[in-house]
Amino acid sequence: MKIVFAGAAREVTGSCYYLETSKARFLVDCGLFQGSRIAEQKNEADFPFVPSKLDFVLLTHAHLDHCGRLPLLYKRGFRGKVYTTEPTVDLVQLILEDAAELITEEADRHNEEPLYSMPDALGIFKLFQPLPYHKPHSILGVEFEFYDAGHILGSAEICLTVDGQTLAFSGDLGNPPVPLLRPTEFITKADYVVVESTYGNRRHEDYHLRKSRLVSAIKKSIAKKGVLLIPAFALERTQEILHEINEVIEAGGLERFPMFLDSPLAIKATAVFRQYPNYYNQDAAAELTKDIDLFTFPGLKMTLTTEQSKAINKTKPPKVIMAGSGMMNGGRILHHLRQYISFPNTSVLIVGFQVEGSIGRQLLDKARTIKIFGEEHQVKAETEAIGAYSSHADQPKLMEWLTQYRVAPKKVFITHGEQSASLNLAEMVSKDLHYPVEVPQLFEEYEL
């Protein structure tokens, strides 16, 4: 069997693994490269395989860097099935519709051919085939099974067996304990392991502090009559934050304040979350018996339309605005940044990974000016990051996940991390666990 690393090799985005056996050709994930113009060129490049000759795709979860090139795959001739979990099928439709819209708008603005458009996204939706966790499925000599990765709703690790060899794909691993999801499951046996390393060289701060830091950021903004901007990651983080604020308000820890969820994608994703309580952990399921909606509270307004979004300006500070995108490389957050970034009583609260090249990364790196819609803006706002909101395992958790293999794998491939993070994790895996490791380059191919 052959594996080709067609994305997320020595970088975080673009997850895509091509596998070829004597009977089948398939992919694990087909994500978008994100963050810069170079990423756009990589998205447009030819795949190192022929899309129309692929038999099927296995999809780990609904994040754009894992599913974002699926419509392109359809556009270039793929007509096989895409297997994934049930919540992922619903979430991926929201994510890809949104992506198709943004990509088309962007291409129109530059008078360019879009990478793909809505008909390609609608085309790929018809090919989705949901499967539950822990139910082995067999196709063309490939037996595979999904495990709960605990990263976002419906996220999966994939364990597959071909010709007597077992491969484990971590997908993105979660950062348990989290308020809604079940903990990340361990796979205990595999000949080959492909593992992510987003935070391969980092340790997150203590989980228990995150809610109190969120609450103090809100209180601080209220006290200084400022605007608190929370760039929203539409899947999981948004719902977790809403859920935590809901808890604090119910417990009397916060007075009512004006808050806006200004992201159509996050609003629709929250509706999908409400549909799948059977995927929640025990605590969240138990809470549902007392509170029918874990994601709304007095003072929260969900602004779906552009008019509603524009009207947010009319509400005098203090106010909290949670808007997409999470890395501030697009979406309504840009309008709010333009409006408020040059005021010293504005705060930006970062709650997730910021890819190189994004405005979020520039703010984290203390940029004095940022460019929004081609215009320079002075940064007077303060930026704070709460690492514990990450939905990714940190280095100790990645190591814990890798330690569960009862017999040492023949090889561990480390992907989905900036080069320094991947190399750092590789060194640790080699030194502490004595597994043979590789950090593949883009398009590198291995015979297994």
Shortest Cβ 22–Zn ion spacing (Å): 32
Residue 8 or 254: the one with the smaller Cβ distance to Zn ion is 8
Q: Which stretch binds Zn ion (CB under 5 A): 14-22, 165-173, 227-235, 373-381?
A: 165-173
CA dihedral (186, 151, 69, 71) positive or negative? positive
Residues 318 to 357 in contact with Zn ion, rule: CB under 5 A: none
Shortest Cβ 417–Zn ion spacing (Å): 12
Residue 172 or 418: the one with the smaller Cβ distance to Zn ion is 172
Residue 80 or 150: the one with the smaller Cβ distance to Zn ion is 150
Q: Is 63 in the site for Zn ion (CB under 5 A)?
A: yes
Considering only 29, 90, 172, 196, the residue that binds Zn ion (CB under 5 A) is 172
Residue 59 or 302: the one with the smaller Cβ distance to Zn ion is 59
Shortest Cβ 236–Zn ion spacing (Å): 9
Residues 77 to 116 in contact with Zn ion, rule: CB under 5 A: none
Q: Count the site residues for Zn ion by CB under 5 A.
A: 2
Mask for 109-148, x = binds Zn ion (CB under 5 A): ----------------------------------------
Shortest Cβ 357–Zn ion spacing (Å): 18
Mask for 202-231, x = binds Zn ion (CB under 5 A): ------------------------------
Q: Which stretch binds Zn ion (CB under 5 A): 30-38, 56-64, 174-182, 201-209?
A: 56-64
Tokens of 212: 């109190």
Shortest Cβ 437–Zn ion spacing (Å): 22
CA distances from 135 to 84, 253, 326, 351 (A): 12, 43, 33, 34
Instruction: Find the angle CA(371)-CA(32)-CA(358) to the nearest 5 degrees.
Output: 20
Residue 184 or 309: the one with the smaller Cβ distance to Zn ion is 184
Q: Which stretch binds Zn ion (CB under 5 A): 62-70, 221-229, 349-357, 420-428?
A: 62-70
Residue that is written with structure tokens 């009583």 in the block: 345
Shortest Cβ 151–Zn ion spacing (Å): 6
CA distances from 434 to 10, 37, 122, 408 (A): 21, 39, 46, 8
Shortest Cβ 292–Zn ion spacing (Å): 29
User: For residues 159 and 70, what is the distance between their CA atoms, to the nearest angstrom?
Assistant: 21
Q: Which stretch binds Zn ion (CB under 5 A): 167-175, 258-266, 306-314, 437-445?
A: 167-175
Residue 152 or 370: the one with the smaller Cβ distance to Zn ion is 152
Q: Is 268 in the site for Zn ion (CB under 5 A)?
A: no
Residue 59 or 312: the one with the smaller Cβ distance to Zn ion is 59
Length, in residues, of the chain: 448
Q: Which stretch binds Zn ion (CB under 5 A): 60-68, 80-88, 345-353, 401-409?
A: 60-68
Shortest Cβ 172–Zn ion spacing (Å): 4
Shortest Cβ 355–Zn ion spacing (Å): 12
Kindly report the three-state secondary structure assignment for every residue of the chain.
CEEEECCCCCCCCCCCEEEECCCCEEEECCCCCCCCHHHHHHHHCCCCCCHHHCCEEECCCCCHHHHCCHHHHHHCCCCCEEEECHHHHHHHHHHHHHHHHHHHHHHHHCCCCCCCCHHHHHHHHCCEEECCCCCCEEECCEEEEEEECCCCCCCEEEEEEECCEEEEECCCCCCCCCCCECCCCCCCCCCEEEEECCECCCCCCCHHHHHHHHHHHHHHHHHCCCEEEEECCCCCHHHHHHHHHHHHHHCCCCCCCCEEEECHHHHHHHHHHHHCHHHECHHHHHHHCCCCCCCCCCCEEECCCHHHHHHHHHCCCCEEEEECCCCCCCCCHHHHHHHHCCCCCCEEEECCCCCCCCHHHHHHCCCCEEEECCEEEECCCEEEECHHHCCCCEHHHHHHHHHCCCCCCCEEEEECCCHHHHHHHHHHHHHHHCCCEECCCCCCEEEC
Residue 128 or 257: the one with the smaller Cβ distance to Zn ion is 128
Tokens of 47: 């795949």
Shortest Cβ 309–Zn ion spacing (Å): 26
Q: Which stretch binds Zn ion (CB under 5 A): 5-13, 58-66, 322-330, 437-445?
A: 58-66
Q: Is 237 in the site for Zn ion (CB under 5 A)?
A: no
Residue 26 or 233: the one with the smaller Cβ distance to Zn ion is 233
Shortest Cβ 66–Zn ion spacing (Å): 6
Residues that bind Zn ion (CB under 5 A): 63, 172
